[in-house]
Amino acid sequence: MLTNKQSVKNFLLKLQDQICHQLENADGGAVFEQDLWERTTGERLGGGGRSRIMKEGLVFEQAGVNFSHVTGDEMPASATAHRPELKGRKFEAMGVSLVVHPRNPYVPTSHMNVRFFIAEKEGEEPIWWFGGGFDLTPFYPFDEDCQEWHAVAKSICEPFGEDVYTQHKLWCDEYFYLPHRQESRGIGGIFFDDLNQWDFETCFAYIRAVGEGYSKAYLPVVDKRKHLCYGERERQFQLYRRGRYVEFNLVLDRGTLFGLQSGGRTESILMSMPPLARWEYNYQPEPGSAEAQLHQYLLPREW
């Protein structure tokens, strides 16, 4: 089955450049700092990446947009646990992953990831797949924003099949769920993994549409909400809800686990953490408040 790893890598590098430029324009103040890194943790591991972080912007308190391309002689346990056929194969994993933590509590946090895996063994056909998606985590949701976010997601999926949005929205709702809190991380979006049911070029085209569509979905929301006035109450609620983001990423996220188990760069893997967050024992929002209304948005629904 024909694959083109170099074309995927070229696209991912270009996508990182494009999104960083768009976020800098949206912020209007801060710029991304870049770290180039290589894996040097052992002879059986290789590759590297470039991590870009924006700090203390006018709009974005912190944003990280990372590219990585790592190789290894053996897949980590987080990958082979549900794919035993990968044992004994060399692998390459490449992708762009980003998380944006805005300063204004009325601007949602957002996440996007697109990635490609290939596992190869001499004399056998390679095993490859794509994965990715994007999701939105508002603290003070607006129906209009939620609807437009999902409308863009649906428009991305439609050229690839009438059921793709429904399937990948459901996957997102199920994946970004905190069972110990009995709530979703946010209002969802689309998410998928093990994507190889189409030919390589079609799967690659879908990944490109998702990666490039993220900014079309997110930046209009940022533009509408970044100038809204807020006070200490909203700020403290934002920090409290950021704690949920940390809980998901450290307890449940497979990407975090894969990165750590495969010897990835810890600083890059954990760049998804917010710069500030807080926890409060048995916090209960005031009944009828805007903070209490968030809960109804954290249950999967059709937008």
Whole-angstrom Cα distance, residue 196 to residue 129?
A: 5
Is there a binding annotation on residue 69? no
Q: Is 115 annotated as a binding residue?
A: yes
Does residue 130 sit in helix, strand or coil? strand
Tokens of 37: 């890194």
25: annotated binding-site residue? no
Q: Is 21 annotated as a binding residue?
A: no
The kind and range of the H/E element at 49 are strand 45-55
CA dihedral 269, 56, 241, 213 (to 10 degrees): -70
Query: According to the annotation, is 246 in a ligand binding site?
Result: no
3-state secondary structure 19-39: HHHHHHHHHCCCCCEEEEEEC
Please tell me whether 150 is known to bind a ligand. Answer: yes
Asked whether residue 265 is marked as a ligand-binding residue, the answer is: yes
49 is in an annotated binding site: no
* φ, ψ dihedrals at 113, nearest 5°: -150, 135
Helix and strand totals (H; E) in the chain? 9, 9
227 known member of a binding site: no
Please give the positions annotated as active site: 111
CB 133 within 8 A of CB 112: yes
- Per-residue burial over 175-205, b = 16 or more CB atoms within 10 Å of its CB, e = otherwise: bbbbeeeeebbbbbbbbbbebeeeebeebbe
DSSP per position, 80-112: HTS-GGGTT-EEEEEEEEEEEEESSTTSPEEEE
Radius of gyration in angstroms for the set of CA atoms belonging to the chain, rounded to a whole number: 19
Q: Is 181 helix (H, G, I), strand (E, B) or coil?
A: coil
Cα 71 from Cα 56, distance rounded (Å): 33
Structure tokens that stand for 255 in this block: 């990407």
Going by the annotation, the residues of the binding site for a divalent metal cation are 101, 111, 150, 180
The binding site for substrate consists of 97, 113-115, 263-265
Residue numbers in the known binding site are: 97, 101, 111, 113-115, 150, 180, 263-265
